[in-house]
Structure 1
């Protein structure tokens, strides 16, 4: 996995490798871009990762080194985790699969025999791009069960006012500007946006322009985001572009009502009015209306939260997702091991 130091796809890679090794009996060797923190997290999870450079076009050493690592490990299946890893991934006596978390250039995956999408929409798109349907696989992400995490309400937010939370990188794709504008239509409500990124200055300017400085706070990355999700009255995903929406799954797990913009991922996860609420993309007033409906109706909020939790338990908790990954590995493995276990080697990068 040759991705960045932080990011949803990168962190899920770590969780998946650790869980496969600990829970599914899969023999996993993570090969990662050099990153001391990631190396230590994987070691703490019981794994023995290898680090390689995974550099740019001038990097002529990573591919032969990776080939040597793979031959020494003897994997049945190699999973290239996003674009850069797929570019470096060598063919061999193993099955080579590419795992995508977005609508990326499939030219990176020309050596792969199979593709994995973490949403049904992404898998369908791969088939429309010309990949044979029998070599395209839908395997979703899982989120940790945070339903028992102790809620922690920020000290800046009084206990007697409605409180909503949004999480993510401060990037235009996340549409936090739309959520801030929605706050004009939600008098008395407080908002916390936990995250960091290139849009911080623009968002802070917008907060001042809209005179919302007393109701919107942006404290940076949260050290314990689960406690914030558990404490909020409504969890919001306003993204204008969101291929999956891990945060929606986290809201389901936390048993909190979720309101999201109807971008690709949330639209696949949420049945409007059943396990969450959807608003049109880039529509601040509609987003505010959906949030206000949930805040104003305790029965509706509880019904949405419980239905979201059922969705999580059925489809996005660790065990059903690990079962789906094990089924995929067994299906594509060229030679299952005598014990019936499947060896997997995972690595890669998320684009952008």
Structure 2
């Protein structure tokens, strides 16, 4: 099948990372894939390293009069059967044509950007139901999950020096209020001193989080690691993975932790609540509740057998539903179902 994926997102982010994984995996599986991206040397290099030849366009604001015609010309030359527009900006620029136009959403976005789309696909069942609640026809609303890289078996990362007996917690993500890292710092202050936090990410909240850590008296127990690419190694070095988000439409980080067989404690935001079976594949606690978060984390630190059980169950769930092979099969079935019955395509 000939598939064009269009991404105009930020250099970093969960949807952007999955876009890259999916494009490369479909290409490796023998699909004819065109990746059209907003100009980004890093993303372009990663796609090229995987065998793709990405097209880079401007994808500017409403005064950008060049990207629309350029994208239409690129798609006309490639002649895809399906075009997947990832998130608002790509959907705003993506034209109709002899292909099926799919809007791929990873959050609860304004559907006016997707008016030209034939179908919408979300990465959770809750998103699909939300599409329908907004008036989108049910028969054109779909759910296809994400997959994460299998991070099992990585050698543990070298974390900052710490006293003997330290138990590292790990949290990952953009340092933004939605991620709830302030709640996690308050929970850390309620945990025994052998619990330390490795926080990997950057963002506008870093200075505020550093101030809060000092005010809570836990600054020496928190390692702000910045953006990291060695997620598997970080997971291998931690005892518990924590996702404290106030707002989390999916939670790719949960899938990564499952793949690495690490026990997960998460706030009950939309995505983690759908992914995790509380007490079976992880632990869920109320959002904004530092005491409950500390209680769940502390319980796992004190009960290694239960932590290991949750880690094994999470790994099994990853293999069943969120590893590359089952998700690629779901995407393949979805794309074939929505593609035009007859499409003039080029060789391959």
Q: Same fold (TM over 0.5)?
A: yes
TM-superposed CA distance for 1:223, in Å, is 3.7
Instruction: Summarize the alignment of residues 282-301 of structure 1 with structure 2, pairs less than 5 Å apart.
Output: 282-301=288-307
Find the residue that maps to 1:68 and give its secondary structure.
helix
Instruction: Give the Cα–Cα distance (whole angstroms) in 2 for the partners of residues 127 and 241 of structure 1.
Output: 21
TM-superposed CA distance for 1:150, in Å, is 1.1
Partner of 1:128: 133
Task: Check the 8 A contact 2:47/2:53 in 1, yes or no.
Answer: yes
Partner of 2:67: 62
1:227 aligns with 2:233: yes
TM-superposed CA distance for 1:155, in Å, is 3.4
Instruction: Summarize the alignment of residues 136-215 of structure 1 with structure 2, pairs less than 5 Å apart.
Output: 136-188=141-193, 189-215=195-221
TM-superposed CA distance for 1:337, in Å, is 7.0
Instruction: Summarize the alignment of residues 1-352 of structure 1 with structure 2, pairs less than 5 Å apart.
Output: 1-23=7-29, 25-188=30-193, 189-335=195-341
Deviations 1:31-60 (A, max 9, x none): 111111111111111111111111110111
Deviations 1:174-225 (A, max 9, x none): 0100000001210121111111110011101101101112211212112412
Instruction: Give the Cα–Cα distance (whole angstroms) in 1 for the partners of residues 237 and 66 of structure 2.
Output: 49
Number of residue pairs matched by the alignment:
341
Task: Check the 8 A contact 1:157/1:163 in 2, yes or no.
Answer: no
TM-superposed CA distance for 1:342, in Å, is 12
Instruction: Give the Cα–Cα distance (whole angstroms) in 1 for the partners of residues 344 and 295 of structure 2.
Output: 58
Instruction: Give the Cα–Cα distance (whole angstroms) in 1 for the partners of residues 174 and 162 of structure 2.
Output: 22
Partner of 2:4: none
TM-superposed CA distance for 1:336, in Å, is 5.8
TM-superposed CA distance for 1:158, in Å, is 3.7
- Of structures 1 and 2, the one scoring higher in RCO (CA 8 A, sep 6+) is 1
Instruction: Give the Cα–Cα distance (whole angstroms) in 2 for the partners of residues 63 and 146 of structure 1.
Output: 38
Task: Check the 8 A contact 1:237/1:260 in 2, yes or no.
Answer: yes
TM-superposed CA distance for 1:152, in Å, is 2.1
Deviations 1:297-350 (A, max 9, x none): 1111011000000110011000111001000110011036799x999xxxxxxx
Find the residue that maps to 2:325 and give its secondary structure.
helix
Deviations 1:97-154 (A, max 9, x none): 1000000000000000100001111111001111111101101111000111112241
Structure 1 unaligned blocks of 5 or more: 344-352
Find the residue that maps to 1:20 and give its secondary structure.
helix
Task: Check the 8 A contact 2:79/2:344 in 1, yes or no.
Answer: no
Task: Check the 8 A contact 2:160/2:223 in 1, yes or no.
Answer: no
Task: Check the 8 A contact 1:139/1:325 in 2, yes or no.
Answer: yes
TM-superposed CA distance for 1:29, in Å, is 0.3
TM-superposed CA distance for 1:159, in Å, is 4.8
TM-superposed CA distance for 1:157, in Å, is 3.0
The alignment's TM-score, normalised by the length of structure 2, stands at 0.95
Instruction: Give the Cα–Cα distance (whole angstroms) in 1 for the partners of residues 119 and 347 of structure 2.
Output: 16
Task: Check the 8 A contact 2:99/2:343 in 1, yes or no.
Answer: no
Instruction: Give the Cα–Cα distance (whole angstroms) in 1 for the partners of residues 342 and 264 of structure 2.
Output: 42
Structure 2 unaligned blocks of 5 or more: 1-6
CA RMSD of aligned residues (A): 1.7
Against the structure 1 CA distance between its residues 89 and 174, is the aligned structure 2 distance closer, same or farther, given a 3 Å change threshold? same
Instruction: Give the Cα–Cα distance (whole angstroms) in 2 for the partners of residues 211 and 175 of structure 1.
Output: 18
